[in-house]
Amino acid sequence: MSQSFRIAQGGRIDRDNQLKFSFNGKTYTGQAGDTLASALLANGIHMVGRSWKYHRPRGILSAGAEEPNAIFQLEKGEKTIPNARATQVELYDDLDASSVNCWPSLDFDLLSINSKVSRMLPAGFYYKTFMWPKSMWMKYEHIIRKASGLGKSPEVNDSDRYEHSHRHCDVLIAGGGVAGLTAALAAGRAGARVILVDEQSEFGGMALSSYDKIDGQPVSDWIQAAVAELQELPEVMLLPRSTAYGYHDYNFLTINQRLTDHLALNNRKGGREKLWHIRAHQVVLATGAMERPLVHSNNDRPGIMLASAVSTYVNRYAVKPGERAVIFTNNDSAYQTALDLNAAGAQVVAVVDARSQSSSELANMVRSAGIEVMNSCAVVDTSGGKRLQSVQVMSLSSDGQSVSGQRRTLSCDLLAVSGGWSPVVHLSSQSGAKAVWNEEAAMFIPGEPVQQQASVGSANGTLELKLSLIEAANAGNAAAKACGFDSNMKAPQSDAVISDPIMPLWLVPSDKEKGREPKAFIDLQNDVGSADIELAAREGFHSVEHVKRYTAMGFGTDQGKTGNINGMGILAKTLNQTIAETGTTTYRPNYTPVTFGSMAGQNLGSRLFDPARKTAMHGWHEENGAEFEDVGQWKRPWYYPKAGETIHDAVNRECLATRNSVGILDASTLGKIEIKGKDSAQFLEMMYTNNWMKLPVGMARYGFMLGEDGMVMDDGVTIRLAEDHFYMHTTSGGAAGVLSSMERWLQTEWPEMEVFLTSVTDHWATAAVVGPNSRKVVSAICEGIDFSAEAFPFMASRVGKIGELECRINRISFSGELAYEVNLPANYGRFMWEKLMEAGAKYDITPYGTETMHVLRAEKGYVIVGQDTDGSITVDDLGMSWAVSKTKVDFLGKRSLTRPDTARTDRKQLVGLLTEEPDSVLPEGAQLVNDPGAATPVPMVGHVSSSYYSACCGHSIAMALVKDGRRRMGETVYAPLADGRVLKATITQPLFYDKEGAKSNV
Amino acid sequence: MLLIECPWCGERDESEFSYAGEAHIARPLETEKLSDEEWANYLFLRKNIKGLHREQWNHAAGCRRYFNVERNTVSYKISGSYKIGEQGPVGDDT
Amino acid sequence: MSDLFHQQSPIVQIKLTEPKANQPLIREIPFQGFLNLRGRPNNPDFMTAVKKVLGCSLPIEANTVVVSGDYKIYWLGPDEWLVITPTEQQRKVQSELISALGVIFSSVVDNSSGVTIINITGDNAANLIARDCPLDLHSTVFKAGQCAQTRLAKSGAMIAPLLDGSGFELIIRRSFADYLLLWMQDALIEFEA
């Protein structure tokens, strides 16, 4: 194998299982158990991309979720993944990765000229330069996006499947390191329902990279035993490869589990990711801590890595990230990295420690190993191109504010840095707890919990293993107890380690003149340097949130996990205030990026994106070639084209057939509500604008419902079935809203009223049989009803039988024709429909859809609530004041009808429009003006609400809402269209067909 | 995602409920006697409280009952749910 | 009755398949009698009249089910119940309830075609539902004898654990049934392997 930086022994990789992968077109090998990052390092590859603004070479910095540089595009086509963090990508056979931010290639980058002119690209550069003139931004943006940007959006549909699941638990533990495992054991042993979530493939967290001991055994053995025990507990669920990325109200967490990303493409089966929605009684956050880089000149070269990441690569992945290493630190933990590198056979040139002394056991072990420790020193600069070649070290003053003496050059290919640790407070902060600055430990730690939640271990700022285990056991016990379980697990034991305190160092001083020093980077992903923060402060940005947005610090896929804290430190110093006063930016979901696929799950496509509600006759409509229209969530037949027919042909045919003989419409979607109780009529008096007390049993009435603002909310026909029993129809789209509105009045305002409401929308199938021959068709299949005009008048309702089935027939018309609505329970809907089709065959009964329904009703000037009204239209605006009682003391919305604006006589009113060209159909929504030649902005006087070609009239017809329209009969308005045409139309009454109403009166 | 206690069904996920605005707005009895200003008050003006807020919710996907919730509009903490016509809890303003 | 022959289930356009691997079994129990009953439980006349017809007291504890002979009665709300009867008894029960209740403030409404029953059984029954349902379905929390109306995917359902512990009974609305079954069939894919 050519993995020349692979250490001969140790690590958690599978040495027998070699994998091939390609990076930027070249093939390499790695081992099972590697991440893409560790495999690249095993092959000696540090430089993995270029920075987005200056196009400087950048290398792998970290070994985890915080990675700002090693961001790759994986795979191609339907499997492509933009912006994958190589540090978290498990290596699989034939993995294909490429750098995202270099063009035309990683080694030769045309845009690296930006690096040479970096002084011309300060913070806010893009805004300052390109936002003016504003009209040019779109053009600039196109070029900038190509030159910067991260991964490429997929150009084909994602072929993967994404799962969703909801769970409830007693205790959710985020983070499966030793603290999380301990908390899980405590709660799990007590019998609590526990979910343990960890983003890595193996539980154990940072401890997988260490040689610590717990309960006297190597930590890896302890982890293995703990995981084995948890797996056996029936109420414990372990979620590896899962990121708890959102912590919402009331302990609701969103977790993304990666199910197949670690497998070779051809071995993947089932869903790619699973989004868990978890509601927990108690949450324990054991999310660990992240190491911070140090900010000095040229701190961004490939070969500069976080010290703990170096230890992880050495210990966990058996990879040597360098042969000659310098350690630069301000705290104790990096000394372990020196020992780890030394043990792996790398040369550790020196430990450069900003602190004036380091005398802990760990530091002394480093000295004993013969490694030079340089106290009161700092790395002030580095050199190298695509790989680090040396670092320059100078003496650092005890306050960390200045450097002095000679530059000493240390030749090295690896600089392992540690600026201390930042607890991963993201989830705690998302939960509402404000992060608190701890001056002594120089870190933000979780604030007082505001939900049922506790943070433990290094996530809580408790970096020492022994104390971390105690904290975790206590939290696990407490969480289980809070859920009613008896839990008293003792904490696992570990040896105490005494460390020397950290010396905060946010910006390493330079020996160069202020303003002439090379760039020192804070945010590697967004190329934000220390000077940018200082500039932002000078330009008046003092709030950390403003500085973030001005400099772009903390943007991007890594959200500033490594760099933000240094930026805040520098901002605090620039503003001459404490970090506590400066504060931190807000942590919001998502912790790491989440795929759109995961969010969407299977709610995709025409079948599952939104429910399609279907009537009992849906299958018949499909079999008979109907085109469907969405009405709310309902699928309604739109029209039934015959071979070769356009929609217009079909609608013209359906209209004429209905007017001349008989048509049939599936009207099942209308809302239907049974209203029962002695106060029902009184209740309807309040709900509707007209009178209901005297409606005879067996008769129906049309009514308008208003909102309390006086505007039309819904309309429909309601039948009186008995003195205390009504049957209400609502619009198809308004059914749910009307029912809950009526329930609301009854439950909250008039609880003394004896009225019960029951929705029966789904129970009844309804066919409207319409046209001069409708009586013959309906009476042919329905027994027990006298269909004569005298016995069964317009607006009457009768019960009869179809075969042995009880049916209800309502003589209602939404077309101006003689018409009957036939109702049977929906299980018999198709049976009923086919019976009617059979009976109507000799009259050439014609099924018609919503389009014909619209034409027929518009010919008669009947309105559709929601089309001819829009929430700002009153009954009077519709010209239907006859439907509003003048005598009733009260009904909903009545008082609003006399408000000055509602009572105005020049409101927009419903009128008809006839176009000058009879065949021109005005587009619905078209705005109307009096004078299209007037100076802009041309005053708009109204709009077209309904417009069709009427085959029965032989010309187009339209309804419109026109200002003061009723007084403008015969006047002309114009509709200027988007295509430049201007249609001329005459205002008429909104009634175009059978103006005397003779056709329904038969 | 809130966890809302329906006075009948107990704690349920927010997605089962629909919001119905500020609670304890009684419909005036003799509406015709109200001045335009009084009517507008009832119709349009809401407190928009920063802090403890009494509001109506409907357990739309559940028992379809309307009830009142006292919720802190800053912290989203719910101090209690109560049936229409009942006295609400006296929540602390935190 | 011969007219029963003409009935069509709301999921007539769905083809239910035999479960593979770890898939739960999805089966419709079609054509039951469903009566929506409303009345005030604090009115003893109402409670007594109903008990006389159904042979048991209405469940007044929220989200519980009472079984009485051939009838099952589900709590829907503090003044609302769902009475499920065998198909052929629905008319009889409905008219008996109406006449027993007389002028007592109440409502008895036939909704037999408005809903249908879907039973989901097998090891992954709860996991299938939990794919998009916010209810806690765990057996220590949601037990036989309980029921709950809740959100299911982008629709709703009345869910009750089956008495034998084999899974769940779902009562869903007719117009959403096709969608919910499509959703379930898609959800089954997760348990295919």
Which chains share 3+ C-beta pairs under 8 angstroms with C? A, B
Domain limits, chain C:
19-30+114-191, 33-110
* Residue C58 and residue C46 in contact, taking contact as beta carbons nearer than 8 Å: no
**Alpha helical stretches, state H, A822-979:** 829-840, 850-859, 900-903
* CATH architecture observed for domain C19-30+114-191: 2-Layer Sandwich (3.30)
Using a CB–CB cutoff of 8 Å, tell me whether B16 touches chain C.
yes
Regarding the domain with residue range B3-83, which homologous superfamily does it belong to in the CATH classification?
A: Folate-binding superfamily (3.30.2270.10)
Distance from CA of A781 to the nearest CA of C (A): 14
Distance CA A850, CA A855 (A): 9
Distance CA A87, CA A757 (A): 60
Looking at CATH, the fold of the domain delimited by C33-110 is given as Alpha-Beta Plaits (3.30.70)
Residues with pLDDT less than 50, chain B = 93-94
Tell me which residue in B9, B61, B64 faces C63 most closely, judged by beta carbons: B9
CATH of the domain at A557: 1.10.10
CB contact under 8 A, B16 and C77: no
| Token pair belonging to A506 | 């946010």
CATH of the domain at A6: 3.10.20.440
Domain boundary among A122, A155, A188: A155
CATH of the domain at A452: 3.50.50.60
Same domain, residue pair A654 and A769: yes
Residue A394 zone, left/alpha/beta (φ > 0; ψ -120 to 50; rest) = beta
Cβ neighbours for A592, distance < 8 A, ≥ 6 positions apart? A65, A85, A199, A243, A245, A557
Mean pLDDT for A908-924 is: 97
What pLDDT is stored for residue A125 in this prediction?
Answer: 60
Task: Tell me the pLDDT tens digit for each residue of A745-761.
Answer: 999 999 999 999 999 99
Mean pLDDT for A8-19 is: 96
* Residue A83 and residue A100 in contact, taking contact as beta carbons nearer than 8 Å: yes
- How many other C-beta atoms can be found within 10 angstroms of the C-beta atom of residue A740? 18
| Token pair belonging to B1 | 């995602």
In a domain, A29, yes or no: yes
The terminus-to-terminus CA distance of chain B in angstroms comes to: 19
Mean pLDDT for A962-976 is: 98
Nearest CA to C157 out of C107, C115, C106, C185 is that of: C115
What pLDDT is stored for residue C137 in this prediction?
Answer: 98
What pLDDT is stored for residue A797 in this prediction?
Answer: 98
What pLDDT is stored for residue B94 in this prediction?
Answer: 45
* Residue A265 and residue A152 in contact, taking contact as beta carbons nearer than 8 Å: no
Residue A478 DSSP class = H
Mean pLDDT for A956-984 is: 97
Cβ neighbours for C42, distance < 8 A, ≥ 6 positions apart? none
Distance from CA of C105 to the nearest CA of B (A): 19
Q: B62 contacts in C (CB within 8 Å)?
A: 148-150
Task: Tell me the pLDDT tens digit for each residue of A61-110.
Answer: 999 999 999 999 999 999 999 999 999 999 999 999 999 866 556 666 65
In a domain, A23, yes or no: yes
Q: How many CA atoms lie within 13 A of A726 on its CB side?
A: 29
Is C99 a residue whose pLDDT tops 50? yes
User: Scanning the structure block, which residue is given the tokens 């948890």?
Assistant: A230
What pLDDT is stored for residue C66 in this prediction?
Answer: 97
Mean pLDDT for A292-316 is: 98
What pLDDT is stored for residue A140 in this prediction?
Answer: 59
What pLDDT is stored for residue A497 in this prediction?
Answer: 87
Which chains share 3+ C-beta pairs under 8 angstroms with A? B, C
Distance CA A689, CA A890 (A): 9
Using a CB–CB cutoff of 8 Å, tell me whether A889 touches chain B.
yes
Same domain, residue pair A732 and A785: no
In a domain, A895, yes or no: no
What pLDDT is stored for residue C1 in this prediction?
Answer: 46
| Average pLDDT value over all residues in chain A | 95
CB contact under 8 A, B12 and C150: yes
Same domain, residue pair A739 and A771: no
Question: Domain of A946?
Answer: 905-988
Q: Which runs of E-coded beta strand occur in A335-398? A: 347-353, 372-375, 377-384, 388-396
CB contact under 8 A, C151 and B15: yes
Is A130 a residue whose pLDDT tops 70? no
Work out whether the CA dihedral A437, A439, A440, A441 comes out positive or negative.
positive
| Token pair belonging to A444 | 């933000």
What pLDDT is stored for residue A137 in this prediction?
Answer: 60
* Residue C112 and residue C34 in contact, taking contact as beta carbons nearer than 8 Å: yes
Helix (H) or strand (E) holding A228: helix A219-232
Distance from CA of A760 to the nearest CA of C (A): 6
Is A887 a residue whose pLDDT tops 70? yes
Same domain, residue pair A646 and A791: yes
Q: How confident is the model at residue A139 (pLDDT cuts 50, 70, 90)?
A: low
If one counts the domains in chain A, the total is 6
Q: How confident is the model at residue A376 (pLDDT cuts 50, 70, 90)?
A: very high
* Residue A43 and residue A5 in contact, taking contact as beta carbons nearer than 8 Å: yes
**Bridge partners, A85 (sequence order):** A71
Same domain, residue pair A772 and A650: yes
CB contact under 8 A, A249 and B18: no
Q: How confident is the model at residue C193 (pLDDT cuts 50, 70, 90)?
A: confident
| Token pair belonging to A459 | 């996530």
In a domain, A455, yes or no: yes
Q: How confident is the model at residue A872 (pLDDT cuts 50, 70, 90)?
A: very high
What are the b/e assignments for A222-241, b being 16+ CB within 10 Å? Answer: bbeebbeebeebebbbbbbb
Same domain, residue pair A822 and A925: no
CB contact under 8 A, B84 and A250: no
* Residue C90 and residue C110 in contact, taking contact as beta carbons nearer than 8 Å: yes
Task: Tell me the pLDDT tens digit for each residue of A688-710.
Answer: 999 999 999 999 999 999 999 99
Among the ranges given (A92-106, A228-242, C30-44, C153-167), the one the predictor scored with the smallest mean pLDDT: A92-106
CB contact under 8 A, B65 and C77: yes
Mean pLDDT for C71-81 is: 98
Tell me which residue in A249, A749, A895 faces B34 most closely, judged by beta carbons: A895
